[in-house]
Amino acid sequence: MSLDQLADEHAVSKFHLAKRFKQYTGYSPHEFLIQIRMTHAKEWLKYSDLPISEITARVGIDNTSHFINLFKDRFTQTPLAFRKKWQRPK
């Protein structure tokens, strides 16, 4: 669902919706969505052996390189480094 669709559904402008959303959550709608995706990605990285490309697809990001950059920007390490830190030795 896009911001336009959500705004139409609630009969407000998308600018008003985005402003109120940030006021209540501290995040823009886009950043909030990325945070949710990254939270899910961290769980997949910790508790599965799925390839990074599969996790990327499961969290709704089309490009693995973009996912890696988003992850690194937020957590200062790559998804692979994060996984190695959290997974138990086999």
User: Would you say residue 9 lies in a domain?
Assistant: no
**Domain interval for residue 68:** 28-86
- Please tell me whether residue 63 adopts helix, strand or coil conformation: coil
User: Would you say residue 20 lies in a domain?
Assistant: no
User: Would you say residue 51 lies in a domain?
Assistant: yes
Q: Can you give the CATH number for the domain in which 73 is found?
A: 1.10.10.60
> Does pTM surpass 0.75?
yes
> Taking Cα atoms as reference points, which of 84, 28, 37, 43 lies closest to residue 56?
37
From first to last of its 90 residues, what are the pLDDT tens digits of the chain?
788 898 899 899 999 999 999 999 999 999 999 999 999 999 999 999 999 999 999 999 999 999 999 999 999 999 999 999 987 665
60-85 burial, b if ≥16 CB within 10 A, otherwise e?
ebeebeebbebbeeeeeeebeebbee
User: Would you say residue 18 lies in a domain?
Assistant: no
Confidence at residue 6, expressed as pLDDT on a 0 to 100 scale = 86
Task: Tell me how many domains the chain contains.
Answer: 1
User: Would you say residue 62 lies in a domain?
Assistant: yes
User: Would you say residue 8 lies in a domain?
Assistant: no
